[in-house]
Amino acid sequence: MNWRGIWAIYKFEMKRALRTVGQSIASPVISTVLYFVVFGAALGSKISSIDGVEYGAFIVPGLIMLTILGQSISNASFGIYFPRFTGTIYEILSAPLSFWEVSLAYVGASATKSLVIGIIVLVTAGFFVPLEIQHPIWMAFFLIMTCITFSLMGFIIGIWADGFEKLQIIPLLVITPLTFLGGSFYAIDMLPPFWQSVSLFNPVVYLISGFRWSFYESADVSLWVSVSMVCVFTAISMGIIAWIFKTGYGLRK
């Protein structure tokens, strides 16, 4: 394992993030405040609690997931797309690094940034509602694995995209709607039976459900189903990246 090469790419990506640290921190904090004002205050007055959990506290796990899913994809996709756009990707491909090492560096940097932002959102939420994390280890598991999995997906999108516009297509038209429809701000059992069944085809449901269970032991699906789905998503993403580097898809013109 070429740890020096991995560290070089990782450090470069982290330094790039630090140049916009004000924007990176201010954006999720402001968004969190707005969500609590709109959803916590407006809807909270209509919905006192869900599964015995105050509505303002109930939406915290979904709010964190909504933030880190978008951040993970955008950070990883731009991180690998920019070298392709500038042509410096060939320097990376010619370096003594395997595709796993290159992926580890870029995905690790993206996941780290998303994890930090997720923690910031969690701390910010603590100023508005009383938080109770009943299973901190499981909370950390879902938080870290979600950051890694969606950073892998962002890495794939960054290689697939042939323009800056395409970097936004999947996050805006696919991930964001799936997140809002994945039980971020409501419990799935509040839906009519037909739509409850449809929701089970939404992969984000399993992430949010497992993450919320770690807080309040309230979940839409079994914990082990959520854990299994997270592992499946990660394995599929890693398989696609392995195929990309093996075939050179999107890396060589």
Domain residue limits, the chain:
3-247
Name the pTM for this structure. 0.86
**pLDDT exceeds 90 at position 104:** no
pLDDT digits (tens, 9 = 90+) for 127-155: 878 888 899 999 999 999 999 999 999 88
**pLDDT exceeds 90 at position 200:** no
- Give 82's contacts (C-beta < 8 A, 6+ positions apart): none
Worst-scoring range by mean pLDDT, 9-23, 117-131, 218-232?
9-23
At 252, is the pLDDT very low, low, confident or very high (cuts 50, 70, 90)? Answer: low
Per the CB < 8 A criterion, the answer to whether 214 and 136 are in contact is yes
* pLDDT attached to residue 235: 92
Per the CB < 8 A criterion, the answer to whether 143 and 70 are in contact is no
**Can you read off the two tokens belonging to residue 124?**
């910010």
Return the number of other C-beta atoms located less than 10 Å from residue 45's C-beta: 9
pLDDT digits (tens, 9 = 90+) for 84-96: 777 777 777 777 7
At 45, is the pLDDT very low, low, confident or very high (cuts 50, 70, 90)? Answer: low
Closest CA to 17 of 70, 71, 91, 86: 71
Per the CB < 8 A criterion, the answer to whether 213 and 223 are in contact is yes
**pLDDT exceeds 80 at position 36:** no
- Give 209's contacts (C-beta < 8 A, 6+ positions apart): 183, 188, 219, 220, 221, 226
pLDDT digits (tens, 9 = 90+) for 159-176: 888 777 777 787 778 888
Query: How far is residue 236 CA from its own chain's centroid?
Result: 16
User: Which residues on adjacent β-strands are paired with residue 53?
Assistant: 50
Maximum Cα interatomic distance, the chain, rounded to a whole number of Å: 59
Its sign, for the CA torsion 121, 127, 129, 135, is: positive
Closest CA to 184 of 172, 169, 202: 202
User: Which residues on adjacent β-strands are paired with residue 54?
Assistant: 49
**Can you read off the two tokens belonging to residue 233?**
């998503």
